[in-house]
């Protein structure tokens, strides 16, 4: 079996993660010519093209496999650095910035409970990269080998991975009191929801439609939507009178108590179950990540 140059593997990862040769060169503190030479040498060793020179750049199937291998090497290095630091604190140099440990977490979890769970690891020096996506799609980052773990709604463990339940996050529909009084004084109903704009994360976000459909027993729902790709941004948009939004109750409890927001359907608060998936590897970093996320989720989320 071939042994691949770690510098060439990190070069491949930098090209994909930074989105180009020039930015990869800046990250690695080498010339753009050196980046191209390392990639060509790696492609020659593998015997196939690893990067599709398109816009944006994307890895081939072989490139994806090597990217996954590179991230596993980063994880092994992270474990080694933690062990060295425990044995001889002055001898551990720590992970380089380009050797980031990446996980995918849905935006609502980032806005509520996930960052406190990760804080201690970051303070200990782990160069963590948190990638955000819709909770129904974060597992695709793990499936493609782009991250070592993800928070998702998918229950079934992915191939080569292990899964742990985190708890359920309750969602509610909110509006600003003045907006509701002016536009829907009788509240949200099966007759007026299609007239009111709903603020969603992006075009993949089905939360608003699913919430309304279940609330009123409808099979198919069409909504007027405004897109704001941030959980906190959606709340600010609601406060500014842009319309309604369906958000985690955890995110707005204080604003509800202060009367700045109104729960427009208090009898309807569906709970979305979340799971943590990660590679099925023996790793202290992975185990620590898993325990930290489970502990904080256990306090913040509803447990069944």
Give residue for tokens 């309604």.
244
95 vs 85: CA distance, rounded Å: 11
Handedness of CA 15, 125, 76, 141 (dihedral sign): negative
Q: What percent of the chain has pLDDT over 90?
A: 55
pLDDT of residue 301 exceeding 50, the answer is yes
Q: What percent of the chain has pLDDT over 70?
A: 93
Mean pLDDT of the chain: 89
pLDDT of residue 161 exceeding 70, the answer is yes
pLDDT at 166: 96
Rank 77-81, 87-91, 219-223 by mean pLDDT and report only the highest. 219-223
> Which pLDDT band, with edges at 50, 70 and 90, does 96 fall under?
low
Nearest CA to 64 out of 129, 22, 132, 12 is that of: 12
Helix (H) or strand (E) holding 246: strand 245-248
pLDDT of residue 53 exceeding 90, the answer is no
Q: 73 and 95 in contact (C-beta within 8 Å)?
A: no
pLDDT in tens, 102-154: 899 999 999 999 999 999 989 888 888 899 988 888 888 888 778 889 999 99
**Section 88-92 average pLDDT:** 48
Nearest CA to 267 out of 153, 188, 180, 167 is that of: 188
pLDDT at 93: 47
Do 1-70 and 169-272 share a fold?
Answer: no
Nearest CA to 105 out of 169, 156, 12 is that of: 169
153 vs 138: CA distance, rounded Å: 9
According to CATH, the superfamily of the domain at 169-272 is Periplasmic binding protein-like II (3.40.190.10)
Nearest CA to 52 out of 42, 63, 44 is that of: 63
Nearest CA to 277 out of 171, 169, 141 is that of: 141
pLDDT: which is higher, 62 or 54: 62
Angle between helices 6-18 and 61-87 (to 10 degrees): 110
Q: 151 and 300 in contact (C-beta within 8 Å)?
A: no
> Which pLDDT band, with edges at 50, 70 and 90, does 92 fall under?
very low
Q: 293 and 156 in contact (C-beta within 8 Å)?
A: no
The structure tokens listed for 105 are 């977490």
pLDDT at 271: 95
Domain ranges of the chain: 1-70, 169-272
> Does domain 1-70 correspond to CATH entry 1.10.10.10?
yes
pTM of the model: 0.75
pLDDT of residue 233 exceeding 80, the answer is yes
Q: 62 and 48 in contact (C-beta within 8 Å)?
A: yes
Burial class (CB in 10 A: 0-12, 13-18, 19+), 63: buried
């Amino acid at each position: 079996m071939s042994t691949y140059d770690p510098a060439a593997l990190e070069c491949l990862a930098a090209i994909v993660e930074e989105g180009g040769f020039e930015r990869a060169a800046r990250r690695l503190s080498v010339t753009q010519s050196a980046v191209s030479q390392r990639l060509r040498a790696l492609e020659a060793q593998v015997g196939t093209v690893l990067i599709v020179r398109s816009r944006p750049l994307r890895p081939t199937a072989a490139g994806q496999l090597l990217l996954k291998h590179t991230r596993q090497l980063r994880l092994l290095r992270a474990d080694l650095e933690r062990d060295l630091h425990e044995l001889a604190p002055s001898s551990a140099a720590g992970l380089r910035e380009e050797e980031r440990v990446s996980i995918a977490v849905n935006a609502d979890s980032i806005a509520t409970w996930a960052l406190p769970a990760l804080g201690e690891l970051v303070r200990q020096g782990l160069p963590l990269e948190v990638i955000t996506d819709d909770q129904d799609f974060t597992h695709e980052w793990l499936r493609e080998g782009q991250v070592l773990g993800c928070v998702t709604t998918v229950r079934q463990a992915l191939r080569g991975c292990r899964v742990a339940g985190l708890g359920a996050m309750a969602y509610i529909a909110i509006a600003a009191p003045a907006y509701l009084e002016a536009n829907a004084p009788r509240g949200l109903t099966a007759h007026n929801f299609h007239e009111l704009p709903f603020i969603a994360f992006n075009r993949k976000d089905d939360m608003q439609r699913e919430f309304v459909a279940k609330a009123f027993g409808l099979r198919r729902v069409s909504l007027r939507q405004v897109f704001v790709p941030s959980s906190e941004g959606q709340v600010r948009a609601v406060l500014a009178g842009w319309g309604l939004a369906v958000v985690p109750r955890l995110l707005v409890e204080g604003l509800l108590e202060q009367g700045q927001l109104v729960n427009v359907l208090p009898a309807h608060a569906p709970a979305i179950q979340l799971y943590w998936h990660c590679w099925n590897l023996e790793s202290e970093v992975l185990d620590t990540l898993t325990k930290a996320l489970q502990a904080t989720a256990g306090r913040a989320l509803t447990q069944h």
